[in-house]
C-alpha cells in the first residue's frame, strides 16, 4: 500500500496510496466520468499549500478527459476508487509547465496533491443501465461517505488522546521538578 507507482512511465505522475478504498468500491469509468474530490495541493520545493478544499470542506467536481484539470489529475483519478486517498506527485509537464499558474504556482513547479476520491457519477445526459444500478451506486456512495466520516472521527479521537497524553507527561515532569528540591536540607 505504501509503494509509489509511476503512472506515466517517465516519473511525470507518481501515485502513493495513503488510504486504500474497499475492494468493492466503484471507480471512474466511461459511464461514471464525473468525479468529486477533496484535495490539498502543495509546492514540492517549499511545502507551501497553494490550494485546498479542506479549509471550507468543499467538494471539487470535474469530468475526466475534458481537459478541465491538469493532465496528472486526468491520469491519476482513473486509477482510484471511491474512498481512496492518494498522494500524487506531478512534474511540471503534467501540471502547469513552464508557464506556471501565477501568482500561486511558479513556472516549472512540481506539485504534490493529497486527493480523496469522494464520488464518481454519470455525466449529465448519460444513463446508467437501470434504476437498480443507480440505487446500488447511491447506496455504495452512502457507505463510502460513512466510512470516510468514521475514519476522520477515529483520527480526530487519536489526535485528542495523543494531546492528552502529552499534556499529562508535561504535567508529571513539572510536578517532579517542583518536588525535586524539597527534603534535601540538613537534619538537626
**60 annotated active-site:** no
In the set 26, 94, 96, 105, the catalytic residue is 96
Q: Active-site residue among 26, 70, 88, 89?
A: 70
Cis omega (within 30 of 0) for bond into 103: yes
The C-alpha atoms of residue 65 and residue 155 are separated, in whole angstroms, by 34
Query: Which residue among the candidates 26, 39, 94, 105 is catalytic per the annotation?
Result: 39
Please confirm, yes or no, whether 113 is among the known catalytic residues. yes
Q: Which residue matches cell numbers 508535561?
A: 170
Q: Is 94 a catalytic residue?
A: no
- Cell 537534619 appears where? 187
Q: Which of 26, 89, 105, 113 is catalytic?
A: 113
The one catalytic residue among 18, 49, 50, 60: 50
* Annotation marks residue 39 as catalytic: yes
Using alpha carbons, list the distances in angstroms from residue 99 to 67, 93, 153.
Answer: 17, 10, 40
37: phi then psi, degrees, rounded to nearest 5: -135, 155
Which residue in 36, 51, 93, 104 is the catalytic one? Answer: 51
Residue numbers annotated as active site? 39, 50-51, 70, 96, 113
Amino acid at each position: 500500500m505504501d509503494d509509489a507507482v509511476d503512472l506515466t512511465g517517465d516519473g511525470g505522475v507518481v501515485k502513493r496510496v495513503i488510504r486504500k478504498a474497499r475492494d468493492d468500491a466503484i471507480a471512474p469509468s466511461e459511464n461514471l466520468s464525473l468525479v468529486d474530490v477533496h484535495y490539498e495541493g502543495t509546492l514540492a520545493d517549499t511545502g507551501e499549500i497553494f490550494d485546498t478544499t479542506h479549509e471550507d470542506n468543499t467538494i471539487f467536481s470535474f469530468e475526466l478527459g475534458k481537459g478541465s484539470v491538469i493532465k496528472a489529475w486526468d491520469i491519476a483519478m482513473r486509477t482510484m476508487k471511491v474512498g481512496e486517498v492518494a498522494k500524487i506527485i506531478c512534474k511540471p509537464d503534467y501540471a502547469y509547465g513552464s508557464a506556471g499558474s501565477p501568482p500561486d504556482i511558479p513556472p516549472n513547479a512540481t506539485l504534490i496533491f493529497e486527493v480523496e476520491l469522494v464520488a464518481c457519477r454519470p455525466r449529465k445526459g448519460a444513463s446508467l443501465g437501470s434504476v437498480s444500478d443507480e440505487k446500488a451506486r447511491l447506496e455504495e456512495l452512502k457507505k463510502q461517505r460513512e466510512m470516510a466520516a468514521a475514519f476522520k472521527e477515529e483520527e480526530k479521537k487519536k489526535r485528542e488522546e495523543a494531546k492528552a497524553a502529552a499534556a499529562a507527561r508535561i504535567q508529571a515532569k513539572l510536578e517532579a521538578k517542583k518536588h525535586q528540591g524539597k527534603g534535601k536540607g540538613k537534619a538537626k
